[in-house]
Amino acid sequence: MAKREALRELQSRLAERLKVARTQANTATWLAVESGGQGFLLPLGEAGEIFPFGALVPVPHTSGWFLGVANLRGGLHGVVDLAGFLGLKSQAANEFAREQLRLIAFNPVLEINCAMLVDKLSGLRSREQLEEDADEGRPKPGFVGGRYRDSSGRVWQELRLAALAGDESFLKIVG
């Protein structure tokens, strides 16, 4: 019970910091999340509300990474397993981590009713906290931004949600 309360308190503090960060220029640039054992940075201006993982209605004949449809604040949103879409091993099936799973909705200005399932929230990150990391030179999709490394050596990959919302492979949910 104490774990749940601590998790709710953390989520409330993070949501409040997210609101403040959106109103202050250059304070925080990204929402950091973890999915499939990897760290990702989602631009604050493109990320929307954060929801706990809840009930989904499956949609037949869709790709395995398209988990279904969820009612988020009265609106229907398609739910995508971020790790599954990126070809990473999803940790969403791990019941131990289920309490940490979160849905990150796309910002309504992107005009796509979609939310991504991530394994865990990791806070906010600013450019001052990260160093650009050398790119591996492999071709990457247009929605993949820069790679960064934090002071502990952890690598974070930027995902541009606006570009992802228009990516053909992301929009093609039929399996």
All structural domains of the chain with their residue ranges: 2-171
Mark 69-82 as b/e (b = at least 16 C-beta within 10 Å).
bbebeeeebbbbbb
Would you state the pLDDT for residue 90?
61
CB count in 10 Å sphere of residue 16 = 10
Question: Which pLDDT belongs to residue 128?
Answer: 92
User: At 91, is the pLDDT very low, low, confident or very high (cuts 50, 70, 90)?
Assistant: low
The rounded distance, in Å, linking the Cα atoms of 53 and 102 is: 5
* In the chain, % of residues over pLDDT 70: 89
Residue 45 contacts residue 165 (beta carbons within 8 Å): no
- Band (pLDDT 50/70/90 cuts) for residue 72 is very high
pTM for the model:
0.81
β-strands 47-52, 102-106: how paired?
Answer: antiparallel
CATH code for 2-171? 2.40.50.180
